[in-house]
Structure 1
């Protein structure tokens, strides 16, 4: 299976695209994504599709610095639940170490290593795409994101000794100079941030020692193992694709970078089928949505990927043994009375 990334990797994409005069929806559609998928940061999408999207966007906007501009819209919280723990680590070394050990929790494309020698520390970044494709924008986005994280740990004015990129210099390196200073270099042997090793021992500027124990306990409860199952990935993608009206096994296979037979075979090995996962996911979402009186049944039908309200009504009756309106009425009656 091809690696996935959290939709938070594209935080700010729609806003940046529109500010540069390009249509984000059209470009996302070209790579099999939809802007609706970006509404929830903890959903997973195809990593290669995200990489392709950034390259298309840079070309369409004529901004070679597209990835850097997108990185400027990132916040530490975009890392997801792990950010709550990392920010409470006592020093930069332990914070960065945790971030690297658990990078699969926010981006399966990433392979980041920290090496030290001769008083220097080098944070090397690789994108494991599984195939040859242009990835300049995604690489610069990741390097700039780590640069922002290190600034958060150390100081808003901190700058590394140097920032290296394997690709050639852009026609106009002004944004690179603005973000990284004059030490940015192109045509190097790898993509990396170089800093003094003793800076890793500096206290983490974001940390609150009183919160560390609680943060660690929370992380132990939500930490995701590296061996996430195929069924888990398919379930995540179903939730993302349902509102787009394009939730099919073919689209799931495309997002995972395999053919539909591979999806069927691997799901069967885990005792699941695409249909069973689709139905289970719809059932769970329907329970939440129908209980919310602010959502119309027509809206819920669309969000669950049904072609019509009547199709949704028939499915709901078969699943729950009553109509959606009856289920909503029962749910409202079950709510506790507010005596305040």
Structure 2
């Protein structure tokens, strides 16, 4: 399977594209992406498609610094749920370590590693795009720019790295690059990354609130996703995210994973599953949760579960649970009354 990234990777893309005179809808469509998906930051989309989109956008807008412009729009919250935990770590070393260990929770393309030597710390950044890797200049500059902004959040808004290296060549105008990275910017170097004083790792995390750390850690332990998340898990998550959009199909899931539908079918079959079985199981789990809540109307639940009408939902519910949703709700209510076992 091709690596995925959260839709938060494109946070601000639509607004930036319009500001530089290009059509975000048309460009995303060419890469099999949809601007509607960006409304929810925790959806997963094809990483290589995002890389191609950024390159295409830079070319169409005639802005070699398109990726950096994206980095300037980054907020710490764009990292997703892990940001709630990282920001409460007591020092930069522990915060950065947590962020790098769990990078798969927000970007499967990204591979960053931290090393220390002779009083200097280095964050090397790679993008794992596979054998047929598209050009990734914009995505790399976005990633390094985002890490620089994260470090400034940990330390100080005026903080400067010792140097920032890029393996690719210099742009025609590096003004925005020097404004973001400072005077230590170099191109055509051996790796992509950030070099800074190792002492900075032991500095207190400027964002941290010690009283919140235990709560944040407990929350993180509950949501942490193993690095080896299976294809079945990915498909299940996408089904849940797509149900309410009315576009939950094998084609849409395959597009989000960056593969064709036959590949999805093949991977699911290896686990003894089908797309239809996962769709049905997910609907059943959510239906039990939603129908039990009397504050949710059945029409609303029907929409959230992706049914074309309330009658279609009711027929499906009776087939799965042996009674109508109204009857099931009443029975659940009776079981929750005082004195009922």
TM-score by length of 1: 0.85
Return 276-285 or 127-136, whichever deviates more.
276-285
Which residue of 2 is the match for residue 209 of structure 1? 210
What does 1:150-229 align with in structure 2 at a 5 Å threshold? 150-229=151-230
Q: What is the CA-CA distance between 1:313 and the residue it aligns to?
A: 6.7
1:331 to 1:10, Cα distance in 2 relative to 1, 3 A: farther
Distance 1:326 1:170 in 2: 66
Q: What is the CA-CA distance between 1:76 and the residue it aligns to?
A: 0.8
What does 1:5-154 align with in structure 2 at a 5 Å threshold? 5-130=5-130, 131-154=132-155
Q: What is the CA-CA distance between 1:328 and the residue it aligns to?
A: 9.5
Q: Spell out, residue by residue over 1:136-166, the C-alpha distance to the aligned partner (whole angstroms, 9 max, x if none).
A: 1111111111001000111000010111111
Q: What is the CA-CA distance between 1:73 and the residue it aligns to?
A: 1.3
1:280 to 1:62, Cα distance in 2 relative to 1, 3 A: farther
Return 4-13 or 248-257, whichever deviates more.
248-257
Structure 2: give runs of 5+ residues left out of the alignment.
none
Contact 1:163 1:192 in 2 (8 A): yes
1:246 to 1:116, Cα distance in 2 relative to 1, 3 A: same
Return 206-215 or 244-253, whichever deviates more.
244-253
Q: What is the CA-CA distance between 1:118 and the residue it aligns to?
A: 1.5
Report the 3-state secondary structure (helix = DSSP H, G, I; strand = E; otherwise coil) of the residue aligned with 1:182: coil
Distance 2:336 2:64 in 1: 54
Which residue of 1 is the match for residue 281 of structure 2? 280
Report the 3-state secondary structure (helix = DSSP H, G, I; strand = E; otherwise coil) of the residue aligned with 2:194: strand
1:32 to 1:324, Cα distance in 2 relative to 1, 3 A: farther
Distance 1:316 1:288 in 2: 13
Return 312-321 or 162-171, whichever deviates more.
312-321
Aligned pairs, how many?
Answer: 336
What does 1:308-319 align with in structure 2 at a 5 Å threshold? 315=316, 318=319
Contact 1:34 1:244 in 2 (8 A): no
TM-score by length of 2: 0.85
1:232 to 1:173, Cα distance in 2 relative to 1, 3 A: same
Q: Spell out, residue by residue over 1:94-128, the C-alpha distance to the aligned partner (whole angstroms, 9 max, x if none).
A: 11111101111111111101111121111000000
1:117 to 1:263, Cα distance in 2 relative to 1, 3 A: same
Contact 1:45 1:237 in 2 (8 A): no
Structure 1: give runs of 5+ residues left out of the alignment.
none
Q: Spell out, residue by residue over 1:207-236, the C-alpha distance to the aligned partner (whole angstroms, 9 max, x if none).
A: 122222222222222211112121111122
Contact 1:90 1:207 in 2 (8 A): yes
Return 252-261 or 231-240, whichever deviates more.
252-261
1:302 to 1:216, Cα distance in 2 relative to 1, 3 A: closer
Contact 1:110 1:128 in 2 (8 A): yes
